[in-house]
Structure formats: structure tokens, C-alpha cells
Amino acid sequence: MTGGRNKYLVISLVLAVAAIWGSSFVVMKDTLHRINVSSFLGWRFLIATVLMAAMRPQALKVIRGKFLLKGVVVGLLLGGGYIFQTFGLTQTTVAKTGFITGLYAVFTPLLAAGLFKKHVSKIQWAATALALAGLAMLSFKGLSIGVGESLVLVSAILFAGHIIALSEWSHGMDTYALTLIQMAVVSALSFLGGIRQGIDAPHDSGVWRAILYTAIFASAFAFFIQTWTQSFMAATSIGILLTMEYIFAAIFGVIFGHETLALRTLLGGSLVIVAMVVIIKSEESKEVVSHD
């Protein structure tokens, strides 16, 4: 539903965002050996905040009162998701991080059901079972679950909470300003979380390149494109396209991160992706029915 816009251009832009987000896992994993997680995220989202404010300074005028409060809450959920995801990335592979993060698509309807008493269909329960099977293949190490995978799993739950909060609160709001608040909150949360460990300044060109790449492309540009496309395309359609992020993460991890994609990882990741697509398709079919 792109109206008079070139749908192939729109799809290409969304897929570009998915590729950028997928590649950012590889970029971050190498960099996090040279700068701590909190500092990396703090600088990344601070630069993204400044860029977005500079691109559209008039958005700052609507940030006040309840709008600001809601923005802070959704920003804390987003920030928590990024923090757990990035710490998890330091202890597991790029491919596993990408696949497990994608479980937010499964957790979203389940959390919505628990928090807002929304009905969970049989197909959604089936997708959950598929996702859990895939997660087991990705995460279990003997009789235990890896620490890295567990941290990324928490991030997926927080990302699901972030999506639910936005869906409940963002109606009628300036989405650009709401995104700007979130970027600022993630930066502040990251810097606060890093006080005890110490805030690192980017100390070499490689770290600066990674921070600038993720700030400009994976944060400011990507969130701008997502906000723009969701103003005229169904969220579920965008969601289907963005699931490619996790495929890109695995591909880039093998090509640039020199990771080996074990059969268990490939099969587990495939089950997670199938579960995501099933959930998104079920939500899309409900939208069609409600529009009819």
C-alpha cells in the first residue's frame, strides 16, 4: 500500500535498512573488544540524537509533558533491549544474536495477550512452539543455556515490550519527535550504566568508524526510513521485509566475521524465521479482516 510511490524503491529502502542492521552486528562485535558496551552505545545514540535534531529541529517543540514521559518509557525499553543485545553479542555469534533477537516478533503478541488480555490464536501458539524449538537448537549447550544467548533472549522480550508500548501510545503523536526522544534516552541510559565501569572515549579510527556507521546509518537513517515507510505501509508488511535483517546478520557473520554456520545454527535459525513469518502473516490477516 504505497499509494503513488514507487513500491520497488520503497521495498529497496526497507531492505537496505535490514541489511544495515544485519551488518551492524559484525561491525559491533569486532569493535566491542576495544571499547566497553555502555560507551559504544552511549556515543552511538548521542551522535544519532544530535543528527536527528539537526535534521528536523522543529520536532523539539512538541517534546513536553505526557509526550516526553511516554517517550522516556519507550526509550528505556529500547535502551534495555540494546544493552542486553550488545552484551549478549560479546558472548555469542553474530548469527545467533540475529536469529534470537528476531524472537521479538513472537513475543509481541504473547505479551500483548498477557498485558492487555488480547486473544492468542492457535497459529500464534504454533509459531511460539516453532520459535522455542529453534531457540533450543541455537542456545542449549549440553544441559545449560549459554549466557550470551540468554542475554539476547532478554533483549528480544524488551524489544517486544517496546513495540507494544509504541502501538499503544504513538497514535496521533509526532513519530519523528518520539523517535528522537528514544535515541536520547538510549544514549543517557547507556552512559549512566557505564559510570561504574568507566566511560571510554573512542580511541582509534576503527572504533570511530564503527560508532559513526551505526549512529548515522543503523540509527538515524534507519529509524528515519522506518518511520517514513510506516506512515503509508502496514506495519506487518514492513515487519516481513525487516525479518531479512537476521538473514543478513548470518550472511555477514560468515563472510566478514569468519564465523562457521553450523548445521544446528542453520536449522535453529530457520525455525525462528519461520515462526516470525507465521506470526507476521497471522497479524496481517487480522488487519485485512478488520479493514473488511
In a domain, 127, yes or no: yes
| 48 residue type, one letter | A
Using the 8-state DSSP alphabet, how is residue 215 labeled? Answer: I
In a domain, 1, yes or no: no
User: What pLDDT sits at residue 212?
Assistant: 96
Q: Residues 93, 152: contact at Cβ < 8 Å? A: no
Task: Domain count for the chain, please give it.
Answer: 1
User: What pLDDT sits at residue 250?
Assistant: 81
By C-alpha distance, which of 241, 238, 182, 183 is closest to 214?
183
Q: Residues 49, 187: contact at Cβ < 8 Å? A: yes
User: What pLDDT sits at residue 163?
Assistant: 79
In a domain, 122, yes or no: yes
Residue 145 φ/ψ region, left for φ over 0, alpha for ψ in the -120 to 50 degree band, beta for the rest? beta
User: What pLDDT sits at residue 94?
Assistant: 81
In a domain, 2, yes or no: no
| d(C-alpha 1, C-alpha 46), whole Å | 34
146: Cβ contacts below 8 Å, ≥ 6 apart? 91, 92, 139, 140
Residue 6 φ/ψ, nearest 5 degrees = -70, 110
Q: Which ranges in 102-203 belong to alpha helices (H)?
A: 104-116, 122-139, 147-169, 175-193
Containing domain of residue 132, as a range? 7-291
| d(C-alpha 111, C-alpha 161), whole Å | 7
Locus of grid cell 479482516? 289
User: What pLDDT sits at residue 36?
Assistant: 92
User: What pLDDT sits at residue 1?
Assistant: 47
pLDDT in tens, the chain (292 residues): 455 457 778 888 888 998 999 899 889 988 988 999 999 999 999 999 999 999 999 999 989 888 999 999 999 999 999 999 999 999 888 878 877 887 777 787 778 777 766 666 777 778 777 877 876 776 666 545 688 989 999 999 998 888 788 777 766 778 789 889 999 999 999 999 999 889 999 989 999 999 999 999 999 888 778 777 766 765 556 666 776 777 788 888 888 877 777 787 788 878 878 877 776 666 556 555 444 4
User: What pLDDT sits at residue 210?
Assistant: 95
Q: Which ranges in the chain belong to alpha helices (H)?
A: 7-31, 37-55, 65-89, 94-101, 104-116, 122-139, 147-169, 175-193, 205-213, 222-229, 235-242, 244-255, 263-291
292 grid coordinates: 473488511
| d(C-alpha 124, C-alpha 36), whole Å | 38
